[in-house]
A and B are shown apart, each in its own frame.
Chain A
Amino acid sequence: MMRYLVRRLLLVPLTVMAIVTISFIMIHAAPGDPVLALAGEHGDRAYYEFMRERFGFDDPLPTRFVTYASRVLRGDFGNSYVQGRSAAALIAERVPATLLLTASALVLGALVSIPLGLWTARRAGGRWDGFVNFFALTLYSMPLFWVGQMAVVVFAARMGWLPVEGIATAGSDATGIHRVTDLLQHLALPAVVLASHEIAVLTRLVRSGVAQELGRDHVRMARASGLSERVILLRHALPRPMLTVVTVVGTRIGQLFAGALVVEIVFGWPGMGRLLLSALQARDAPILLAFFFLVSCSVVIANLVADVIYAAIDPRIRYG
C-alpha cells in the first residue's frame, strides 16, 4: 500500500514538469510575434526592438527555458509581460474567488446528488427513476455558458431576484452578515449553473452504485437480520458508491476548472478564468505557464487525494 503511494507521489513532479514543458514549447513555438500583441499597436520599429530585448524574446528557446525552469525551482514565476507584476501574485489574488465558486459547486453537487441518487436507487426501474435519469442527462448535455446566459436573463434581469454580475454590490463596504448575504446572493446563480454538470454526473453515479449494492448478498443478509431500511441504505448501500464518487470527483477537477472559466466570464466573477483569457490574447507567457502549473498540480494532487481516500476507506487495499 505504501509502495503504491510513494510511486504516485514521485509521479507528481514528473507530470507537472511535463505539462509545463509542453505548454512552454507550445507558447514559444506558436506563429506570430508575441511582442506585437503585447506592446500595443502604435510603436515604431525601435520601440519593438526595445521591448523584445527587455523581455528576452531574442535569446534562443533552450536558454529561455533553462532560465525559466531555474527561476521556477526557486519559486519565482516571473513577471507578467502586460502588467509588470509577479505572475504568481496576480494568480494568487484571483484563486480565492475561483476556489469559492468551484467548492460551492462541488458541495452543491454532493448535497443534491446523494439524496437524489439514493431516492432514485430505491425506485430503480420506476417512472421517477427514468425521469430523473433523463433530467440528469439533459443537464449534462447543455453547454454551461449557454445555460449561464439564459439564467442571467431570466433570473437576474427579468425577475430581478439575483444580481446580474460580480461578487459584491458596487461600492458596498458592508461588513459582517450583510457582506455575507450580499456575497451569497452573487454566488447563488453562478454556483448553481457550474454545479449543474456535477449534479448530473454524481446523481447517476450514486444511483447506479446504490442500486447495485442493494442487490448484493451482504445487503440481503442485513435485511435478513432485521436491520431497518434507513440503516441498510446509509451503512450498507452508500459507502462503496461514495468511494466511486470520490474518485470521479478527483478526475473531474480539470473539467470543473474549465466550467469555472466559462461561468466566470458569463457572470463577471473575478476568478482566474478571465486572467487566463486576457493572458492568452496578449500571449503573456509567465501567467499562462504559472496557470498551467497551478491547474496541473491541483489535478494531479486531486487524483492522488482521491486514491488515498479510496485506500483509507476500503480495508482490502489498506491491508491488501
Chain B
Amino acid sequence: MLQVESLAVRFSRPGTATVQAVDPPLNFAVHRGETVGLAGPSGAGKTVTALAILGLLPTGAAASGAVLWRGLNLLSSSESLLRTLRGREIALIPQDPMSALHPFYQVHRQVAEAVRAHQRDITRSDALDMARLLLDRVGIPRFHGHDGGYPFQWSGGMLQRALIAMAIAHGPALIIADEPTTALDATTRIEILRLLRSVQESTGSSILLITHDRDVMTAMADRVVSIGRVPPPASAHYAATAGSEQSAGEVLRVVDLAVHYSGAGGSGAGGHVRAVDGVSLHINGGETFAIVGESGCGKSTLARTLVGLERPIRGTISIEGQNLVGATRTALRDRRRRIQIVFQDSASALNPRRKVGPCIAEPLHIHGCYRGKGGPAQVAALLELVGLAPYHADRYPHQLSGGERQRVAIARAIALQPAIVVLDEPFTALDWGARDDLLVVLRRLQTEFHTALLLIAHDLQLVRQIAARTAVMRDGKFVEQGETAALFAKPSHDYTRALVAGSLADQTVRQPLHLDHRR
C-alpha cells in the first residue's frame, strides 16, 4: 500500500538555521490491513513524517526521497490530486484533539463538512445525518448534548472520537493516527485504542500509529519503525540506600495546615475548594520526604504554602522552631532564607530576560550576601554543584535545555544554603537523560550539604529510589505516611493500594482486547 523510500525533511526559514526534521532518511512500508508503529522521542520527526506523506508540510519545508502510494509518488503529485486522496484514501487523526476542530462551529457540523468534502452531490441535511451516524459509530451517545455541542464543551477523549469519526467517514485505505492517546488519561486511553482496533477490523484499513509511549506501541503495533535517538532504559543504578543519612535536629514541622480557595477558583464550582485540609508532617535535617498523589490533590498548594506564597487559614509551619505563619514582614524575610522552592514547570521558572548568572545571584542580592568581587565565584561554585559549567552563567534561559533550566532553578534555590528545599514535580517535564542528571544533583545535596528535601512526584519508581519517608495525599489530606519501602510493600490504606497498582508500569495492556459492539 504505502512505500516510503529515504524520506528526509528540511526546514529552512529566513533568519533561522535550517533544521533537519527527519534525519537520517527514513524507509518503511505499510501493507494492507497492517498496523505499523512509528516510535521515537519527542522532536524526532514523527509528525513531520505524517505531514510529508499527506503533503501538508508548512511553507519553508522541503521533503526529499519518495512516498509511493499504490505506485504513485505523492511528493511530486499535484495539489488537486492530493486533495482527492486526503480524507478519502489516506486519513489523519491529528496529534492534539483540543485544537484540531474550529472553535466557532459545532462538532457535528464539522464532521458533516468532512463528509461533503468528497461527496459533492449529497445535500446538507443528508451530510448531517451521516455525521450523526459516524459519531454513534465511534461511541459518542446520541448526538451529545442539545446545546449545539461546541468543541470547547467536549472533553479531550470525546474530541478524539469525533476526529476518528471524521477520519473513517470515507472508509480510507490508510489511517495515520498521530499520538492518539497522549493527551488522555489512563481509562480513556484504553477505550480509544480499543476503538481504533475495532475500526481496523470492520473497514480493513491499515493504520500508521505514531506515539512515543512504549506501552501503547507494544499493545497495538504489529511492526515498529523507530526514528531518532532511542531512549536509554530507566537508569537503575540509583537503588542506593535511600534515607540512610539521618541527621541531627528537626528542620520542618507542620501541624494541622489548611488552605482554602474561594469559589472563584479554577473549578468554578462555587463554595470553597479545600486544597489542603489539615496536613501535619515533620522533616529532619538531610532527610528526603516525598509526597505522591493524583493530579489536583493539593500537592503544589501545600508546597507553595510552605514557602509563604499562599496564606493558610489554620495550622502552623515552623522552620527550625520559628513559625512562618503570621510572622511580621522582616521576620518572614529571614525565615524564608531557610526554606526554598523549585517549581514544576522549568520553562517559566527563570526570567527569560536575565542571564543565568545574575538569576542565580538574585537571592544573594536580596539578602545582601553577594560579596561584590567574590560574587561571580559564588555563582560559579553553585553552577558547578548542580553539574553545569561556569560559561553557562552568560547564557539566557532559552539557550538551555529543560533539564539544564531545572538545575539552574535548583542552584538559585540553594544559593542561600537553606535547611530544606521543596521540589514540586521536578522530573515530569524532563526526558530520560535530564532525569538522571537531576538525580545526581539531588544525591549531592543530600550527602554533601545535608539539605532536607521535600519531593513532590508522580513517578512512584523514582520516589522508591530516593525518598526515606513518603506521604500519600488525596483531596488535601494525608491518607497515609511512613517508611517508603514499607509503604509500597504493604499499603494499609486502599487508596494507596490502588495508587500503587494503578501505575501503568505493571499492568500489561497486551491482554487480548475483546472489542464488543455494545455501545
Contacts and interface: CB of A to CB of B under 8 A. Distances in A.
B71 interface: no
B99 A218 contact: yes
A125 interface: yes
A224 B153 contact: no
B59 A239 contact: no
B104 A313 contact: yes
A-side binding surface: helix, strand, loop or mixed? helix
B56 A220 contact: yes
Contacts of B84: 226
B104 A223 contact: no
B163 A221 contact: yes
Interface string B123-136: 00000000000000
B152 A218 contact: no
A216 interface: yes
Given A313-B104, A316-B103, A225 B91 contact: yes
Interface string B73-101: 00000000001111110011011100111
Contacts of B58: 215
Contacts of A236: 102
Given A125-B59, A220-B56, A319-B150, A225 B100 contact: no
Interface string B142-175: 0000011010110000000001001101000000
Q: Taking each of A125, A215, A226, A228, which has the highest tally of chain B beta carbons within 10 Å of its own beta carbon?
A: A226
Contact of B96 (A217, A231, A315, A316): A217
B86 A228 contact: no
A221 B97 CA distance: 10
A231 B100 CA distance: 16
B338 interface: no
Given A316-B152, A319-B150, A224 B91 contact: yes
B94 A220 contact: yes
A315 B166 contact: no
Interface in A207-254: 215-218, 220-228, 231, 235-236, 239-240
B288 to A, nearest CB: 41
B114 interface: yes
Given A125-B14, A226-B117, A218 B87 contact: no
B472 interface: no
Contacts of B104: 239-240, 313-315
A124 interface: yes
A227 B150 contact: no
B52 to A, nearest CB: 13
B103 A223 contact: no
B23 interface: no
Contacts of A240: 104
Contacts of A225: 86-87, 91, 113-114, 117, 166-167, 169
A228 B105 CA distance: 18
A218 B86 contact: no
B118 interface: yes
Nearest to B118: A226
Contacts of B92: 221, 224
Nearest to B90: A224
B457 interface: no
B56 A224 contact: yes
A227 B87 CA distance: 9
Nearest to B94: A221
B272 to A, nearest CB: 22
Contact of B83 (A217, A221, A226, A314): A226
B54 interface: yes
A240 B103 CA distance: 10
Q: Which 9 A-B pairs have the closest CB atoms?
A: A226-B87, A225-B114, A224-B92, A225-B87, A226-B86, A217-B99, A226-B117, A315-B150, A221-B100
20 contacts: A125-B60, A218-B103, A221-B92, A221-B94, A221-B163, A224-B91, A224-B94, A225-B87, A225-B91, A225-B166, A225-B169, A226-B83, A226-B84, A226-B86, A226-B117, A227-B113, A227-B117, A235-B113, A315-B148, A316-B103
Interface of B: 14, 51, 54, 56, 58-60, 83-88, 91-92, 94-96, 99-105, 113-114, 117-118, 147-148, 150, 152-153, 163, 166-167, 169
Interface of A: 124-125, 215-218, 220-228, 231, 235-236, 239-240, 313-316, 319
Given A125-B59, A226-B84, A239-B102, 13 more contacts: A124-B59, A217-B94, A220-B56, A221-B92, A221-B163, A225-B169, A226-B87, A231-B113, A235-B105, A240-B104, A315-B104, A315-B148, A319-B147
